[in-house]
Amino acid sequence: MPANFGDKLVIAISSRVLFDLSESDRIFREQGLEAYSRHQIDHEAEILEPGDAFPLVEKLLRINEKLGGDPRVEVILLSRNSADTGLRVFNSIEHYGLNISRAAFCSGASPYRYVSAFGCHLFLSNHAADVRSALEHGVAAATLLPSSKRQREGDELRFAFDGDAVIFSDEAEKVFKSRGLEEFTRTEKASAREPLHAGPFKNFLAALHTLQSEFQPNECPIRTALVTARSAPAHERVVMTLRSWGIRIDESLFLGGLPKGEFLKAYGADVFFDDQQQHCESASPHVATGHVPHGVANE
């Protein structure tokens, strides 16, 4: 983490998930870069509509208002636009009153290489290759799926995470994939007191936990949930792992293979992260969903 950011929670986000750039993207695909650039410049005074991650960013930035003092959450814009074509994006940021001042405009090149330089805990994009590159460099990252889900009212920010290959490594999932449920259950029960290795979202979860600890329990605007297909007795290793890390999860749902969508809706998640595409697609009608292309399910 860069020294000037101290212990801030740092989130990097692409312009295409912060704002609705579907029309601009259509022009780029159908007419090419020159037409796209001309369109963005010609319309730079027109404010963009919010994108799928806009409500999440709004709630993240409101945390700074609740804590007062130095900001504890930093949101950074990473974009494949040039600074010239990206002016419309910053005009829209200013219009909505989002406190975002740092950005990297890469003129068509992948911006993922700046994720580590900025010390980011999380990178959200709809460009799958950029997300994979960030994950390969040790940063939590997800491809945000389009969602028709409306913003949940209020300032409370609710994160939901799958377990294996997201918070934890995919070591147990490899056993399930290669040797079946019975062997998975047996080995997890036998290893119940042996903590799982960290997955790509462990550091992000730890940063959230640190931020939560700055609030009184009944005043914290952040809530976390583990939503996993595991069930008893394979749940114990998960509990012991989180305990060994010193990380508290507010809610834990052990679903034993049940579909996750209705449970995520009942929990009221603002965003859900899962490594398996089919789980993401079933969840996205109910909640903003980030696909984490990591682990054996994505090989």
Closest of 276, 278, 282 to residue 297, by C-alpha: 276
Q: Please check whether residues 95 and 219 belong to one and the same domain.
A: no
Per-residue DSSP letters for 108-158? Answer: TS--THHHHHTT-SEEEES-HHHHHHHHHTT-EEEEEPP--PPPPSSS-EE
Q: Please check whether residues 78 and 174 belong to one and the same domain.
A: no
Q: Please check whether residues 172 and 115 belong to one and the same domain.
A: no
- Give catalytic status of residue 162 as yes or no: yes
Q: Are strands 288-291 and 140-144 parallel, antiparallel or unpaired?
A: antiparallel
Q: Please check whether residues 31 and 130 belong to one and the same domain.
A: yes
Assigned domain for 150 exists: no
- Helices 171-190, 235-245: crossing angle, 10 deg rounding: 100
d(C-alpha 199, C-alpha 265), whole Å: 25
Q: Which two tokens stand for residue 237?
A: 């290793």
Q: Please check whether residues 134 and 26 belong to one and the same domain.
A: yes
Assigned domain for 152 exists: no
pLDDT tens-digit map of 231-279: 988 899 999 999 999 999 999 999 998 999 999 999 999 999 999 998 9
Give pLDDT, residue 3: 42
Give pLDDT, residue 1: 40
Q: Please check whether residues 170 and 285 belong to one and the same domain.
A: yes
Per DSSP, 53 falls in state T
Q: Is the peptide bond before 233 cis (omega within 30 degrees of 0)?
A: yes
Which structural domain range is residue 245 located in? Answer: 157-298
Query: Catalytic one among 52, 162, 270, 275?
Result: 162
Question: Residue 265's domain is classified under what CATH number?
Answer: 3.40.50.1000
Name the residue with higher pLDDT: 28 or 220.
220
Q: Please check whether residues 189 and 56 belong to one and the same domain.
A: no
Assigned domain for 151 exists: no
pTM of the predicted model as reported, rounded to 2 decimal places: 0.92
- The count of structural domains within the chain is 2
Assigned domain for 172 exists: yes
